[in-house]
Amino acid sequence: MAGFSFFGEGLPEIDLAELKGKLIVLEGTDGVGRSTHISLLKQWLENHGHAVLDTGMTRSALAGKRLKQAKEGHTLGGITMSLFYATDFADRLENEIIPALRAGFIVLTDRYIYSLMARAIVRGADPEWLREVYGFALKPDAIFYLRLNTDDLVTRVLQSAGSFDYWESGMDLHMGEDMYDSFVRYQRWLLSEFDKMVEIYGFEIVDASGPVEEVFPELRDRVMRIVDSNGGTPG
């Protein structure tokens, strides 16, 4: 087993040899079904004797609440937003993800540094600067990229939420007063950035266009191959 490594210098005083669990990431734009599939995976894995932690963006005790409040004001600049998200991620990594991996848990995370980087890049951040900012992050065991084209994304979002989110529509980028057009342009831009990351970071593409009952079995089987690669760690 190769074990974990950091993208850059990493967090200090972390013994990577102590991390016995698995870190599995689900990536993709808004509306592709990440949360639904993570919930199903967690239930399925727990039913098969595995201890599971699920986590996601803006859930840290340190920065999550304040980040949500700041976004409600629609006043965050690009660099400030990137650093806010990095703080949220660092807190979850140090206080949730790494302790769970040390205890042998399977960690399922709804988005990781890739979404944070893609969002920042479309807002003008320098990719090299972002790689340095997130150099403290662990490299996951697998990144499953749930991919859906823009037209299907629009339908999914309207069916589930009934309206478009300000930030998920890129309205802060002043791409137009029409939220629909802004959503389409912004999501296409994000998809382009994600597609560039497929080769760079080794994303495994999962076609998310079908219904959950068709997509989940394929995703589940791929996840189990990762979990069983060293026998997994029962809970």
| In the chain, where the domains are located | 21-149+202-228
pTM, rounded to two decimals: 0.85
Predicted pLDDT of residue 150 = 85
**Per-residue pLDDT of the chain in tens (235 residues, 90 and over written 9):** 468 999 999 999 999 999 999 999 999 988 899 999 999 999 999 999 999 999 987 656 665 566 566 555 545 666 777 888 898 899 999 999 999 999 999 999 999 999 999 989 988 899 999 999 999 999 999 999 999 988 888 887 777 766 777 767 777 777 767 788 888 888 888 899 999 999 999 999 999 999 999 999 999 999 999 998 864 443 3
Residue 177 exposed, middle or buried by CB count within 10 Å (0-12, 13-18, 19+):
exposed
Question: What's the pLDDT score for residue 75?
Answer: 55
Spelled out in words, what is the top-level CATH class assigned to the domain 21-149+202-228? alpha beta
